[in-house]
Amino acid sequence: MHLILLGPPGAGKGTQAQRIAAARRLVQLSSGDILRSEVRAGSEVGRRARSFMDQGTLVPDAIITEVMLAGIDRVPREPGFVLDGFPRTVAQAEALEAGLAARGMRIDAVLNFDMPDGDIVRRIVGRRTCSNCHATYNVEFLPPRSTDVCDVCGQRLTQRDDDREEVVVTRLRTYRAQTAPLVNYYQGKGLLRNVDASAAPETVEAAVRRILDGLGAVG
Ligand code: AP5
């Protein structure tokens, strides 16, 4: 199964990607997590990506496409992967489709996580992440058992550099201008499945499960 999670910043793509990956034994490939690892490692990709990420704008298509196709090449062919945060432009989607076709693969479904902008800032400002295992929490909605400590691996939780309110505004604007056109793009290909991302995490998870079970029944 090869899935794409699409949606604005803070819609819960990473949270649900982790749950889908665990439930279906898929590999989660998060473009944001991969880029942040490159930044921390001080690699050439990380150095080139950093200023875009700090401002809340998109890393150039050629860089991220190369990084993500390399990520796809590293994961086992079966049972598949869930792409979280990629593609984010029509050019990236076209490059992904061509790259997958060259590898004898294709996308099975695109889950579109939709929610109003107003709730997004609250979610993002409350987010805490584990830089070790990438588990995601929220001080308001999904708190860890101990304050600022990861339930999974015990590492300290941190706040992302780009989760400041002024950067979030730019990230939202970037999403509407450059990524939202992918909704029509994938609708036109018959791959889009809409998910109400404003519901509680367990409700969103159940909706996703129903969609994926339906795909399994068809495929
Ligand atoms: P990236 O890391 O991908 O950030 P994003 O898309 O802005 O998405 P987020 O990680 O902010 O949100 P999410 O939807 O995963 O939500 P989460 O599950 O964490 O990208 C960062 C930067 O990298 C970009 O700005 C860009 O510069 C660059 N980049 C990345 N990919 C790129 C690409 N393809 N092309 C070019 N540049 C790229 O949830 C958010 C919070 O809400 C958490 O605290 C969570 O606990 C909580 N929460 C989750 N679900 C719920 C719920 N149902 N109810 C209540 N709270 C919830």
**Residue 127: active-site member:** yes
Residue 96 has pLDDT above 50, yes or no: yes
What whole-number distance in Å separates Cα of residue 162 and Cα of residue 166?
Answer: 9
Nearest to 141 by CA among 53, 211, 210, 203: 203
Name which residue sits closest to atom 41 of ligand 1, judged by CA: 123
What whole-number distance in Å separates Cα of residue 216 and Cα of residue 202?
Answer: 21
Render pLDDT for 153-208 as a digit per residue (tens, 0 to 9).
Answer: 999 999 998 998 889 999 999 999 999 999 999 999 999 999 999 999 999 999 99
Ordered DSSP codes for 113-141: EE--HHHHHHHHHTEEEETTT--EEETTT
The encoded tokens of residue 55 equal 């401002």
DSSP letter at 202? H
- Which is catalytic among the residues 36, 88, 123, 193? 88
Mutate to test the pocket of ligand 1, among 136, 140, 174 (most ligand atoms within 8 A of CB): 136
Name which residue sits closest to atom 42 of ligand 1, judged by CA: 123
What pLDDT is recorded for position 118? 83
**Residue 171: active-site member:** yes
Render pLDDT for 109-149 as a digit per residue (tens, 0 to 9).
Answer: 999 999 988 889 889 999 999 988 989 999 999 999 999 99
Query: Which residues is 37 bridged to in the sheet?
Result: none
Kindly give the number of the ligand 1 atom that is closest to the alpha carbon of 200. Answer: 53
Given a contact cutoff of 8 angstroms between Cβ atoms, the answer to whether 200 and 12 are in contact is no
What whole-number distance in Å separates Cα of residue 46 and Cα of residue 57?
Answer: 15
What pLDDT is recorded for position 175? 97
pTM above 0.85, yes or no: yes
Name which residue sits closest to atom 1 of ligand 1, judged by CA: 32
Pocket of ligand 1 from Cβ distances under 6 Å: 7, 9-15, 31-32, 35, 52-53, 56, 58-59, 64, 85-88, 92, 123-124, 126-127, 136-138, 141-142, 162, 171, 200-201, 204
**Residue 176: active-site member:** no
**Residue 74: active-site member:** no
**Residue 210: active-site member:** no
